[in-house]
Structure 1
Amino acid sequence: MRGDVTVISGPTAVGKGTVVRALKQAHPEVWVSVSATTRPPRPGEVDGQHYCFVSSEEFDELLATNGLLEWAVVHGRDRYGTPAAPVQAALERGERVILEIDLQGARQVRTSLPQARLVFIAPPNWDELVARLVGRGTETAEQRERRLSTAKDELAAADEFDHIIVNDDVGRAVNELVDLLSL
């Protein structure tokens, strides 16, 4: 394996996707994995670009054939996972691989790829995290409560990560990540 893997994780609505998109825009040489999920697309999401939207049966097939590097049930409902083949191919090409995944997935990657760098994106504070989740307006009240419950557990696990970046300003958070990755 010639490339390296960096896992980007953190609680819901912390801005993981925003930070990763800004990193990719500034450094197109990084390779960002596209996760598979059984949840339906949100407005504006494109299959194969934001996620690979798959049926439960397709996800089961990936599991049965060891086609996922990691996977988890997220927020007690939908399944998400990282397809293994594209990641392995990118690593063999010597690319810097970014995995934007949840806490459960990060723990699995720590076991399967112990050389991976784990980066936790943290909110500046709890109230800001709640405001971001409510502000995006993509979840029902019940979904928000489930996500915030999960977020408390995720925040408590931040010390399991190699690095913590507080996302109080996207540009600053991206610059800190760029420095960390030596890009």
Structure 2
Amino acid sequence: MKLYIKNMVCDRCKMAVETVLDKLDLNPTNVVLGEVDLKEESLTDAKYQEMKTALENLGFELLEDKKKAAVAQIKAAIVELAHYTKEPLKVNLSEYLSNKLGTDYASLSSVFSVEEKNTIEHYFIQQKIEKAKELLSYGELTLSEIAFQLNYSSVAHLSAQFKKETGLTPSQFKQDLKRQTLDKI
């Protein structure tokens, strides 16, 4: 049985979800960002509600609507790409998402835009800028190294997108250091 879970955006989130499922004697066979495979083929209504409530108590949302589930999958794939993938993307974003989610990009884009009032591309930029903020706050990399790590063509391109998204230059941001949690983007 496959479950889609909103706000599961980091490794700690995955561990929290696994803990909840284990406490409920459910058997997750695979837990990735935004999605869980259970060994069980179906659940009783009572067990399903118990799981749903336990997840909600931790700030997660069990997605039952297919469109919302698709959006959660898109977001999880983008978060994984922007925050946890070290290698440069070898294909464009649309091809990456189509291959990863097994759906044509036009359908993914349409659902995402309607449900989120945002484009996939802009959401990806927002995630990359959030990652840039994280790296800037650590103070270990130069802006040039950050631009390279996030696959920007130049420091100027990163700086322009950063300013457009935050209203601050990267240097100004370093002085303020205000970040958002990934699930709030």
When normalised by structure 1's length, the TM-score is 0.35
Which is greater in Rg?
2
